[in-house]
């Protein structure tokens, strides 16, 4: 089986890939403007990533390229999204989903960048933009229940981070600014960032870059509420240095994480057998695990 990790380095504007053991580093793109979220469409042979741009300006974008970096194309132009963060691929319906931090939005578009939509809008003014509790960062898709999950991280290390859930589509007669179907799953988190879902086991995973002991961790929790209510999140991995990206190899019982200190980590899905695959790689943000011999990504 041919598998790769696709990783983003915001400091140097690089997109690169390695084998799951950290070897065979291959540079895919350089000179990108603060890349943050990454997904791969194996069947089409495409890699997509978000570029945050200059953080104080409305100049974020989304890029598509071949897996080797050729045929690079900006599909969501600068300014169509403010500060795009984590990115998810909905191959079944031909869409990309992402969170827009300073734009205070959850968004989607077609795979060619057309049909841009705002699904959730948490603020609109410059005063709102300074309120980090409105900043949308991580995103995950639950196709079985037709729902989206996202994080609003809150101020640094403030313990005001939240995870939300809503339907993928805006309810009829409602708007992105005012939706009746938004649920708060968790509140009072240190600083939740990126999300992933183990669909078979219906477990939500996320990184948190807040202060220890609950921050700079990987956490998990059931997607569904039991008869006993919603349990507290389970911390399964610690000692990240400003943790950001997370990717799951569900079949291989592995997860991979990145942090701003430039490390790539691996562990089993329960957090056991942790290891450091790479270190000193810049300021690492998004990560994607892909089985290149599969027709599904």
Averaged confidence pLDDT in the chain: 95
Q: Which of 186, 169, 14, 43 is nearest to 6 (CA)?
A: 14
Task: Kindly tell me if the per-residue pLDDT of 19 is higher than 80.
Answer: yes
pTM of the model as a whole: 0.96
Task: Tell me if 19 sits within 8 A of 26, measured CB to CB.
Answer: no
Sign for the pseudo-dihedral over CA of 215, 260, 150, 81: positive
Task: Kindly tell me if the per-residue pLDDT of 258 is higher than 90.
Answer: yes
Mean pLDDT, rounded, for 247-258: 97
Enter the tokens of residue 267: 């562990």
Task: Kindly tell me if the per-residue pLDDT of 297 is higher than 50.
Answer: no
86-129 confidence digits (pLDDT tens): 999 999 999 999 999 999 999 999 999 999 999 999 999 999 99
CATH number of 3-291: 2.120.10.30
Where residue 104 falls (left for φ over 0; alpha for ψ -120 to 50; beta otherwise) is left
In angstroms, the Cα distances linking 284 to 36, 242, 243, 280 are 8, 10, 9, 9
List the chain domain ranges: 3-291
Q: Check residue 229 and give its pLDDT.
A: 86
Provide the β-strand partners of residue 88.
97
Task: Tell me if 191 sits within 8 A of 161, measured CB to CB.
Answer: yes
| Residue 296: pLDDT band with limits 50, 70, 90 | very low
Task: Tell me if 243 sits within 8 A of 257, measured CB to CB.
Answer: yes
CA distance 77 to 93: 22
191-225 confidence digits (pLDDT tens): 999 999 999 999 999 999 998 999 999 999 999 98
């Amino acid at each position: 089986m041919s598998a790769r990790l696709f990783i983003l380095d915001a400091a140097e504007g690089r997109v690169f890939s390695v084998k799951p053991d950290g070897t065979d580093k291959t540079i895919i793109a350089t000179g990108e403007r603060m890349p943050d979220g990454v997904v791969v469409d194996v069947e089409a042979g495409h890699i997509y990533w978000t570029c945050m741009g200059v953080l104080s300006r409305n100049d974020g974008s989304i890029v598509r390229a071949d897996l080797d970096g050729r045929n690079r194309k900006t599909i969501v132009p600068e300014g169509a999204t403010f500060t795009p963060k984590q990115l998810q691929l909905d191959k079944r319906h031909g869409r990309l989903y992402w969170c827009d931090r300073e734009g205070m939005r959850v968004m989607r578009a077609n795979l060619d960048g057309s049909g841009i939509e705002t699904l959730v809008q948490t603020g609109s003014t410059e005063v709102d933009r300074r309120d980090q509790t409105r900043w949308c960062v991580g995103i995950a898709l639950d196709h079985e229940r037709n729902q989206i999950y996202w994080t609003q991280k809150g101020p640094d290390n403030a313990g005001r981070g939240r995870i939300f859930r809503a339907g993928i589509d805006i309810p009829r007669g409602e708007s992105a600014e005012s939706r009746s179907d938004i649920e708060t799953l968790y509140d009072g988190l240190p600083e939740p960032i990126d999300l992933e879902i183990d669909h078979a086991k219906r477990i939500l995973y996320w990184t948190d870059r807040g202060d220890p002991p609950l921050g700079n961790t990987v956490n998990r929790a059931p997607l569904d509420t039991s008869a006993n209510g919603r349990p507290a999140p389970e911390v399964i991995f610690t000692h990240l240095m400003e943790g950001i990206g997370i990717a799951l190899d569900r079949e291989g019982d592995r997860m991979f994480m990145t942090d701003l200190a430039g490390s790539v980590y691996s562990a089993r899905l329960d957090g056991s057998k942790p290891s450091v695959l790479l270190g000193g790689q810049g300021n690492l943000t998004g990560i994607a695990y892909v089985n290149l011999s599969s027709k599904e990504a």
